[in-house]
Amino acid sequence: MKTSHPLLLLAAMLSGASCGAKSGTRLDIALSPASGVPASQAFPRPENAPVRALRPDEAPDEMAVAKLLGKDTTCASLQLRNLPDALLVDRVFAGLEAAGRVLTLEDGRTVTWGFKHREANLQTVLITAEDGGLELVAVVDDVLSLTAGASDAYPSVEEYERKISQLRLEPRVVGIARDQASLIAAYPLLKRWMQANLLGFNSSCEKHAAACALMPDIHLPIDVYLAAKGGSVPVKVVTPDLPAASIPLEAFTR
């Protein structure tokens, strides 16, 4: 039976204290030229009008998410400084409280994302396979958009990092996949979503060429894990060295 998570109650229960050490390998978000994308990483294009709002009755199956993450896994155990005392499954659903969106590809795969109510720096991404099975869940903390305004980008990586420091942000991405095959299949989609996220969505490199030019030098720590087995915590594995999916950046809207 599908179990919906009590999102509104969660918003009142969780606190924003911080703890945990920095971790993760570098998330390479450099934009590859279209001609340089290997055929094995070519992805189906989104359907017509692919992005839609996530309906309340479409909340992910809480039991399936808990099985993937480990029902007792805490944010602190994965060195997430935000909501450290919260269960990771609660953090995932907190990141879908507001502006939930679903991007559907032609082959039936989906990318779902959102952010925490009144805390847009806490985001969640879920990727499903063609059969609807959950392939990967990611929590994204403190990632600041490269676009400083409607059309402007930060003039340099140094200015961007200075702003992060001023805001006391600690960017971090943690992804948990069902298994190694799911990680390989879903990671390029997560990477493309991250590129769109850095542009603030509803955008492209034609609109934000200066922001795209900064991407190769942006450092975003990422750790990836495989699903918990038998109630244990997720198992950390090597982050795949794969290019982003060849989906138009402007397909990710909000």
- Answer yes or no: is 34 within a domain: no
Is pLDDT at 33 greater than 50 in this prediction?
no
Residues 66-93: what's their mean pLDDT? 91
pLDDT above 90 coverage of the chain, percent: 57
- Domain presence at residue 117: yes
Task: Please report the pLDDT score of residue 43 as a whole number.
Answer: 56
| Residue 232 belongs to some domain of the structure | yes
User: Nearest CA to 113 among 132, 131, 92?
Assistant: 92
Residue in 74, 78, 114 with CA at minimum distance from that of residue 94: 114
CB 176 within 8 A of CB 136: yes
Give how far Cα 106 sits from Cα of 5, 49, 83, Å.
Answer: 28, 11, 36
β-bridge partners, 174: 139, 223
* pLDDT greater than 80 at residue 81: yes
Structural domain that includes position 129: 43-251
State the CB neighbour count (10 A cutoff) for residue 141.
Answer: 22
Q: Is residue 6 part of a domain?
A: no
Residue 38 located in a structural domain: no
Quick one: pLDDT at residue 122? Answer: 96
* Residue 143 lies inside a defined structural domain of this protein: yes
Long-range contact set of residues 7-10: C-beta below 8 Å, sequence gap at least 24 = 7/59, 7/93, 7/94, 7/96, 7/97, 8/97, 10/90, 10/93, 10/94, 10/97
136-183 pLDDT tens trace: 999 999 999 998 665 578 999 999 999 999 999 999 999 999 999 999
The domain total for the chain is 1
Distance CA 142, CA 166 (A): 12
Q: Does residue 3 lie within any of the structural domains?
A: no
Residue 24 within any structural domain of the chain? no
What tokens does 154 get?
């930060």
Give pLDDT, residue 30. Answer: 63
Among candidate residues 168, 178, 191, the one with its CA nearest the CA of residue 240: 191
